[in-house]
Amino acid sequence: MCDQHSINGASRLQRLLMPIYAKWVDDTLGFYLTMGRMSRMPLIGGLVRFFASLYGRYYHGGRAATVEECLEIIDSASQIKVVDCSCRLKEKRCEAPIKTCITVNTGAEVFGTLKKGELISQEKAAEIIKESYHNGLIRAVHHCIEPDTYAVCNCCTCCCVPYRLRSEFNIETAVQNGSMVAEIDHESCKQCGNCQKACPQKAIFPERSIVIAEDCLGCGLCVHQCQFNAVRMVKRDKDLVPFKDGKAEKVLMFTIFMIVILPLGVLFRFSNKLKKI
């Protein structure tokens, strides 16, 4: 498939909005953080968080995934492109690798039309995912307008804008819990504490052999840290709230985005700039 080929299978709205996101990815990430900060403002904060959460669920959001789930997505991808991690390039809070943002299918096609990223094989993508896991990065799969995954991201917790929206601003749909959850085997656990140190969510308590399911992202980093095979990932009892793919939700979210979220974001950024003059 060539870089210039049309964006097959994408809805009109996806064709319209995804290239905007891909072209101005830095601005979009900055805007999302602004939205996060706005969610702490008195009076309007709750409302912003409410709409931002809906936006993450129905429009542009993500969920955590295990290595195995990501490899399945890669295996069935029609096209794969690795692009630089915009969050780490922007925030520069850590030394984690930059070439870890793996776009697939429509995502790869959109970035391709903008001449961004590098076409890679399924094997190379799998290698990046496994290496990132060994480097302690978490995996999040992202959707934009359509429920299908457009990117398999390998994220740190310090720079990643979607993760920060969740961890700092309580907008959980930016990176929802994945479909798997960690479980400790009491018999095999030697209480070394390594899983706890690796957990980005402080969700695992080996001393009591428990994992707080609501806090567990489903990233699987604890599994990698356990030398005694005492942690495993199991299917979550209550699965994710599915991405709603109805026309009504899309129209609703587009309207809310245009008349509420975007003007508020622009206003907030503009007033910040004015303060600096």
Q: Which of 54, 220, 253, 265 binds ligand SF4 (CB under 6 A)?
A: 220
Q: Which residues pair with 195 in a beta bridge?
A: none
Question: Please, what is the minimum distance in Å from the beta carbon of residue 132 to ligand SF4?
Answer: 9
Among 190, 214, 255, 263, binds ligand SF4 (CB under 6 A): 190
From start to end of 7-128, where are the E strands?
60-64, 80-83, 101-104, 118-119
Query: Is 182 one of the binding residues for ligand SF4 (CB under 6 A)?
Result: yes
Terminal CA-CA length for the chain: 49
The yes or no reply on residue 33 touching ligand SF4 (CB under 6 A) is no
3-state class percentages of the chain: helix first, strand second, coil last, to nearest 5: 45, 15, 35
Residues in contact with 49: Cβ distance below 8 Å, sequence separation at least 6, in sequence order = 39, 169, 170, 171
Contact residue for ligand SF4 among 54, 126, 203, 253 (CB under 6 A): 203
- Identify the H or E element spanning 234: strand 231-235
Are 219 and 66 in contact by the 8 Å Cβ rule? The answer is yes
Site string for ligand SF4, 89-118 (x = CB under 6 A): -----------xx-----------------
DSSP, residue by residue, 173-212: GGSB--SEEEEE-TTT-----HHHHH-TT--EEGGGTEE-
Using the contact rule CB under 6 A, the part of the chain among 6-14, 214-222, 246-254, 269-277 near ligand SF4 is 214-222
What are the φ/ψ torsions at residue 208 (nearest 5 degrees)?
A: -115, 5
Determine, following the binding rule CB under 6 A, whether residue 74 of this chain makes contact with ligand SF4.
no
According to the binding rule CB under 6 A, does residue 217 interact with ligand SF4?
Answer: yes
Does position 206 bind ligand SF4 by CB under 6 A?
Answer: yes
Using DSSP's 3-state secondary structure scheme, residue 126 falls into helix
Q: For ligand SF4, how many residues bind (rule: CB under 6 A)?
A: 41
Amino acid making up residue 81: K
230 is a site residue for ligand SF4 (CB under 6 A): yes
Output 39 or 86, the one with its CB closest to ligand SF4.
86
| By the rule CB under 6 A, 162 interacts with ligand SF4 | yes
**Does residue 129 belong to the site contacting ligand SF4 (CB under 6 A)?**
no
Please report, as ranges, the residues that interact with ligand SF4 according to CB under 6 A: 85-88, 100-101, 153-155, 159-162, 182, 184, 189-195, 198-199, 201, 203-204, 206, 211, 216-222, 225-226, 228, 230-231
